[in-house]
């Protein structure tokens, strides 16, 4: 089964909107084991849309058309598909009533052109709209099929998952159950992961199920996604469990979680399990670490607070850092101890570095100094009445522009803390 993608909209060609829909669909089709070999963008011109659809359907079994289903004069995807099908449009009364009811329920007057969204090519099936007004369409063209979905991403995603993917799998004769397991990693490059996992990838290529893909996700880390197909949930889960364990066995030090885990959620869980609280002292990241931690639901029982010590005198006067150059591990360790005392936490995480545009204190752009202060007995112990803390530190060099460096600093620092918390 091959399914290609056609994105409709002159705004895509002008660069006014980035076509994220096609990339998302490509990812979903690959995860489902459905070939997708071509993605096309075409403007709001019926002749060119028709030509694009006819061209794609010469080689593909199916095509997903994104956009052009709205109520205005330039939304001509329906007309174009009808021409490809060799049929006409007809009013779908149920859709028309639903659109009219939606406007009435919001006490809004409905413009007559909204009923254009209820026009359906004769012979097509409707994908009910759950989140907007324009329904999706399933349009047979001989033994092939055109799926039409709105260009609004959250509407497209919902229709694809609910209606299009099951229909594609049914047409392909593939097993109806499909699921993915994502291993979340940090500390190894994408090429490095690929190299280390190559023997396993070769084996998967021979077996064919599950499939493995990498997704570099910036300050979310690198995701290793396994996607399995099977006759039932139990067989799919068994495949994923087995192969995920094999992946982790090869790169155990860089896998920090699965699926919806984030580095901050994993760190918070580790702190919580050990009865620890945390304070954060940030210079180069300006509060990004605290923001990531506090964005996690339930973090308030672990996260005590933070200090954005961007100016040097704040480091000296608030955190008790000795005066001198501030881009150093010595400064980071002093910041980590100082924030514990300032916010009353048992663990302190500190970051200082250079995001650019110029060097500072002789340190190159991209330099990041990270420190963690913990109770003297190590993870799982309190600082005791003496309040004695021991600080560990490291320095890393991060790539990218100012924004990228700061984002990578966040996950690098949290990962350093995770590794210390997981030490025996």
pLDDT value of residue 175: 61
Q: What are phi and psi of 106, to 5 degrees?
A: -105, 10
Does residue 176 have a pLDDT over 80?
A: no
pLDDT value of residue 387: 62
Q: Are residues 238 and 131 in the same domain?
A: no
Q: Where are the beta strands (DSSP E) in 150-252?
A: 177-185, 211-216, 222-230
Q: Are residues 15 and 39 in the same domain?
A: yes
Q: Are residues 251 and 279 in the same domain?
A: no
Does the bond joining 210 to the residue before it have cis omega, within 30 degrees of 0? yes
Pairwise pLDDT comparison (231 vs 344), residue with the higher score: 344
Got the DSSP string for 369-381?
EEEEEEETT-TTS
Q: Which two tokens stand for residue 1?
A: 């089964």
Q: Which of these, 41, 37, 3, 2, lies nearest to 21 by C-alpha position?
A: 41
To 5 degrees, how large is the angle CA 267–CA 188–CA 292? Answer: 30
pTM: 0.72
Number of structural domains found in the chain: 3
Does residue 386 have a pLDDT over 60?
A: no
Q: Are residues 333 and 368 in the same domain?
A: yes
Q: Mind listing the pLDDT tens digit for each residue in 113-143?
A: 778 888 999 999 999 887 677 889 999 999 9
Q: Are residues 245 and 187 in the same domain?
A: yes
Nearest-angstrom CA–CA distance, 139 and 84: 10
Q: Are residues 23 and 163 in the same domain?
A: yes
| Residue 17: CATH number of its domain | 3.40.980.10
Percentage of the chain beyond pLDDT 70 is: 97
Final residue belonging to a domain, choices 209, 227, 258: 258
Q: Which of these, 312, 297, 296, 305, lies nearest to 348 by C-alpha position?
A: 305
Q: Which two tokens stand for residue 34?
A: 């459905």
Q: Are residues 227 and 370 in the same domain?
A: no
Q: Mind listing the pLDDT tens digit for each residue in 294-325?
A: 999 999 999 999 999 999 999 999 999 999 99
Domain that holds residue 13: 3-172
Does residue 378 have a pLDDT over 70?
A: no
Pairwise pLDDT comparison (218 vs 263), residue with the higher score: 263
Q: Are residues 210 and 234 in the same domain?
A: yes
Q: Are residues 289 and 393 in the same domain?
A: yes
Percentage of the chain beyond pLDDT 90 is: 76
Final residue belonging to a domain, choices 199, 226, 258: 258
Which range, of 74-88, 109-123, 140-154, 341-355, averages the lowest pLDDT?
Answer: 109-123
- Using alpha carbons, list the distances in angstroms from residue 300 to 282, 297, 312, 347: 19, 8, 28, 15
Nearest-angstrom CA–CA distance, 68 and 73: 10
| Rg value, the chain, Cα | 27
| Residue 227: CATH number of its domain | 3.30.70.2860
Q: Which residue has the tokens 């694009």?
A: 52
Q: Which two tokens stand for residue 133?
A: 């007004």
Q: Are 400 and 408 in contact (CB under 8 A)?
A: yes
The H or E element containing residue 136 is strand 136-141
Final residue belonging to a domain, choices 227, 258, 289: 258
Nearest-angstrom CA–CA distance, 55 and 77: 16
Q: Are residues 268 and 416 in the same domain?
A: yes
Q: Are residues 400 and 348 in the same domain?
A: yes
Q: Are residues 155 and 95 in the same domain?
A: yes
């Amino acid at each position: 089964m091959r399914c290609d993608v056609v994105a409709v909209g002159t705004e895509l060609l002008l660069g006014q909107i980035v076509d994220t829909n096609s990339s998302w669909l490509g990812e979903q089709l690959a995860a489902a084991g459905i070939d997708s070999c071509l993605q096309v963008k075409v403007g709001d011109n019926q002749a060119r849309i028709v030509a694009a659809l006819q061209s794609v359907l010469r080689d593909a079994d199916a095509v997903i058309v994104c956009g052009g289903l709205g109520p205005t004069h330039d939304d001509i995807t329906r007309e174009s598909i009808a021409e490809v099908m060799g049929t006409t449009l007809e009013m779908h009364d149920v859709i028309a009533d639903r659109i009219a009811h939606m406007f009435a329920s919001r006490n809004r007057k409905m413009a007559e052109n909204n009923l254009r969204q209820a026009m359906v090519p004769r012979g097509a099936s409707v994908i009910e709209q759950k989140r907007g007004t324009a329904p999706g369409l399933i349009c047979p063209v001989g033994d092939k099929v055109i799926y039409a979905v709105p260009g609004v991403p959250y509407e497209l995603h919902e229709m694809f998952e609910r209606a299009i993917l099951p229909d594609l799998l049914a047409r392909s004769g593939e097993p109806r159950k499909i699921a993915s397991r994502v291993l979340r990693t940090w500390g190894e490059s994408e090429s490095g992961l690929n190299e280390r996992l190559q023997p396993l990838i070769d084996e998967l290529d021979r077996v064919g199920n599950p499939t493995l893909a990498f997704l570099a996700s910036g300050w979310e880390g690198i995701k290793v996604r396994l996607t399995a197909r099977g006759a039932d949930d139990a067989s799919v889960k068994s495949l994923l469990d087995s192969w995920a364990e094999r992946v982790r066995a090869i790169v155990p030090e860089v896998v920090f979680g699965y699926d919806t885990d984030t580095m901050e959620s994993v760190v918070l869980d580790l702190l919580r399990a050990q009865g620890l609280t945390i304070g954060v002292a940030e210079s180069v990241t300006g509060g990004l670490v605290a923001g990531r931690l506090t964005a996690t639901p339930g973090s308030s029982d672990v996260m005590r607070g933070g200090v954005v010590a961007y100016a040097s005198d704040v480091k000296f006067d608030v955190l008790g850092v000795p005066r001198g150059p501030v881009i150093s591990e010595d400064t980071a360790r002093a910041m980590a101890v100082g924030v514990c005392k300032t916010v009353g936490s048992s663990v302190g995480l500190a970051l200082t570095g250079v995001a650019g545009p110029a060097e500072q204190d002789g340190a190159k752009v991209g330099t990041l100094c990270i420190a963690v202060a913990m109770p003297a007995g190590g993870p799982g112990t309190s600082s005791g009445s003496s309040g004695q803390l021991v600080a560990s530190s490291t320095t890393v060099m991060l790539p990218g522009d100012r924004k990228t460096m700061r984002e990578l600093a966040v996950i690098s620092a949290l990962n350093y803390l995770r590794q210390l918390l997981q030490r025996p």
